[in-house]
Chain A
Amino acid sequence: MTTQYKQVFGRPESLKDVATHFCPGCHHGTIHRLCAEAMDALDIQQRTIGVASVGCSVFLYGYFDIDVVEAPHGRAPAVATGVKRVRKDDVVFTYQGDGDLAAIGTAEIIHAANRGEAITVIFVNNTTYGMTGGQMAPTTLPQQRTSTSPTGRDVANDGYPIRMAELLAGLEGVAYSTRVAVDSPQHIIAAGKAIHHAFDCQVKSGGFSFVEVLSTCPTNWGMDALKANARVASEMIPYFPLGVFKDAACAEEGA
């Protein structure tokens, strides 16, 4: 008897069938897939426009089977604002790292959020500048060694890491703000639901939705993939707690 199989898990349609340039164990690939799964589930692939940032996530157009605009460093929320305002029926999202969103693009993200632009922002926080060589970012943890803080981040001199999800949740214009991680199957499933909800927020109620995803950077942390993955739970989550910090407009919709 020939065994009949049913595929229960595979590559989402919105993700191109190509290998990524990400380092082994980097969570970017997982987060890309979760975004693509949300697009498939909501059936919005044909009307989704991505806005790529500068950093390791710069090749968004090579990995997602959707239209993508490349923004100047940190300016993805400003570019997304323009795209969304002229194409109101399309779903617009930005995908930014912490060096892009929390440092160079701090002004753009805060004002786009405060204006309540109907966009979705996927914020990948790996506590360092990945592509440029592991420099200290605003999200770098206290005492964390980076190429520009070789003796560890000194909070007396450099301040404390910024908790973006909490900061943006305090703004009136924000409909949904959450922080998730992708270091375990349980967290990945929860992160998938959060990203799905964020896109759904935009589709249903047209609010500004923000998902911060804690991620690894094994190469710049100087760790192998498994140790880097373990660091998310041991060091990052204690400082960057997971949770939903605001879910205003979406809750009213009964989503």
Chain B
Amino acid sequence: MMTNNKIEIDETYCKGCALCTIACPHGLIEMDVTLNSLGYIPAMITPANLAKCTACALCARTCPDTAITVFKSVSGSKTERS
């Protein structure tokens, strides 16, 4: 199911520990390929994977650096609207 939910990974806080990648029950979060300003390889989510996000917030709860903010769409999923 496609969703409109959103997570924001703040690159300036991410230290690239990758704990969020094992916390996501759907394995949607990956590690980036370029360094952030701290010199770490941060976590990222592709637009295709973001469309599968259920906004369960387990990634954000696991992040030791509180780098992830989770938003749930309140205007319904794309599937429901179409």
In the bound complex, residues from chain A placing their C-beta under 8 Å from that of B16 are 24
Interface set of B (CB-CB < 8 Å, partner A): 4, 6, 12-13, 15-19, 22-23, 38, 40, 55, 57-58, 60-66, 68-75, 81
Beta-carbon contact of A19 and B12 below 8 Å: yes
Chain B residue with Cβ nearest A218: B17
Instruction: Give 18 A-B contacts (CB < 8 Å), ordered by A residue.
Output: A1-B75, A7-B69, A7-B70, A8-B72, A11-B66, A19-B13, A19-B65, A20-B64, A22-B64, A24-B16, A24-B17, A26-B64, A29-B64, A29-B65, A33-B64, A33-B66, A189-B61, A225-B17
Mark contacts of A9-36 with chain B using CB atoms, 8 A cut-off: 1 yes-contact digit, 0 otherwise. Answer: 1110001000110111111111001000
Beta-carbon contact of B73 and A188 below 8 Å: no
| Interface status of A3 (Cβ within 8 A of chain B) | yes
In the bound complex, residues from chain B placing their C-beta under 8 Å from that of A28 are 64
Mark contacts of A220-255 with chain B using CB atoms, 8 A cut-off: 1 yes-contact digit, 0 otherwise. Answer: 000001100100000000000000000000000000
Q: A9-B68, A29-B64, A185-B62 are in contact. Are A229 and B19 (CB under 8 A)?
A: yes
Considering the chains assembled together, what is the distance between the CA atoms of A19 and B65 in angstroms?
A: 7
Beta-carbon contact of B65 and A6 below 8 Å: no
Beta-carbon contact of A8 and B57 below 8 Å: yes
Interface set of A (CB-CB < 8 Å, partner B): 1-11, 15, 19-20, 22-30, 33, 184-185, 188-189, 218, 225-226, 229
4 more contacts with CB within 8 A, not counting A5-B73, A25-B64, A184-B23, are A4-B73, A9-B57, A11-B69, A185-B61
Q: A8-B57, A19-B65 are in contact. Are A25 and B19 (CB under 8 A)?
A: yes
Beta-carbon contact of B65 and A20 below 8 Å: yes
In the bound complex, residues from chain B placing their C-beta under 8 Å from that of A11 are 66, 69
| Of A3, A19, A189, A226, the contact of B4 (CB 8 Å cutoff) | A3
Query: How many Å from the CB of A91 to the closest CB on chain B?
Result: 22
Chain B residue with Cβ nearest A5: B71
Beta-carbon contact of A24 and B15 below 8 Å: yes
Question: Which are the 8 A-B pairs with shortest beta-carbon distances?
Answer: A29-B64, A25-B17, A225-B17, A24-B15, A5-B71, A9-B57, A9-B70, A185-B58
In the bound complex, residues from chain B placing their C-beta under 8 Å from that of A23 are 15
In the bound complex, residues from chain A placing their C-beta under 8 Å from that of B40 are 24
In the bound complex, residues from chain A placing their C-beta under 8 Å from that of B64 are 20, 22, 25-30, 33
In the bound complex, residues from chain A placing their C-beta under 8 Å from that of B22 are 226, 229
